[in-house]
Structure 1
Amino acid sequence: MTKYLITDVDGVVFDRMPLYTRNFSDLVAVFGISTEAAQRYYLHTSGAPITQQFEEVLKKHKISFSTQQLQTLVHDFFHLANGAEAPLFPGVRETFCKIQKAGCLIFATSGSRTPDLEVLFRGYEIPCDLIIGSDEIPKGDQHIQRFAEFVDIPLPEFCRAAAYIGDGPHDMVIATRNKILAIGISNTVDHTHLRASGADVVIANIENLLELLEI
């Protein structure tokens, strides 16, 4: 049985990706980036920290920007998100409860901010042993290292006993780079894109996790 489950948040737990995609394209529209181009870029890089996504989309379109402008984009993005509903995907709470009851620890990694995520997880009573957002440490390898430190075992040992579920290509890249079982869920991009990004397996709904984790 898998001992540790690492989960992305938006696109796996909360169904906020359509909202995030619209907000992202609206915010960069003032720089002259078309809605279609912005939304395509956002979805193809889903799972990455939002600061990185804003920075890279502006550079991709050869747009000059200041540090203050980048910070304002990130601030406005989260301001818009925090004022909106955060619906759960069907079956998430029930599935996570079964996973935790079986003795598997659950870790959440996200490009969003840790305090905001903690409020949401508590409000929806979603079991999770440790939540790390990107307000202090950008989502990526350092989050995996922190999870290993939390259970006080070497990183390679942790990774061998873990599985990582995410809806975005960036999630699959993080998982495969750390030699963690990469589980894609096709809530945001299709299975072909997830497979191309390194997914070992792709599922259509969260309940399929139980069989994969041998629970």
Structure 2
Amino acid sequence: MQSTPPRAVTAICHALQEQIEHGLLAPGGKLPAERQLSEVFATTRITLREALLQLEAQGLIYREERRGWFVASQRLSYDLIERSHFHAMVRAQGRVASTELLSARLQPASAAICARLQLPALSSVVRICRLRRIDGRAVLYAEHYLNPRQFPGILDQNLGQSLTEVYARVYGIGYGQVCFEILPTALPLEAAAPLKVSTGSPGLQITRVNSDQHGRLIDCDLEYWRHDAICIRAHAG
């Protein structure tokens, strides 16, 4: 079986990258269908797809299931040291943030969540699942696991807004120490479906275990990001 011609793939990558860098293909804009692009570059769909996958790996373009290929916007700068929440972080970078509540309920905690929040066996946690968008594009699926003892009545609150602001306004709770774990991952089904990508697509998992201002463990966040949507930074003084 003949392999994909590397020169053809490289030429397509360079041509599309040049169009993107010069603004002819604008961020958020939809690329022509693969069949049309194959005709433009006088190549096969296999060769074209290899080029598109390489550009996707570089974070220049992205694909949504049943919608096609799009030009990626500038990555969100995610500063691990700065104490900020998603909406404030996005607004500070001149973008528009939105949050969609997918589900919220009290449920038994998994062994992993019990360990992270130092809860005894058979404990219950509040599980809140949300989809977060930047400029209308779904980039983050998040699962929040809260110790219900710290947040009585939390399920009656508006959970489509910043939890950080709800914690402060309703419960007088602010963040203290935060522990991060960051891992490249293959997106699981529960994250891939709302992000409109195939299960197993590359992503970034950020696990945050949060303590309050008094040192008590209060919640654990599992964040699944599209890999092209975020740039992790840490500025230590």
| TM-score normalised over the length of structure 2 | 0.23
Higher helix share: 1
Q: Greater CA radius of gyration, 1 or 2? A: 2
TM-score by length of 1: 0.25
Q: Which has the higher strand share?
A: 2
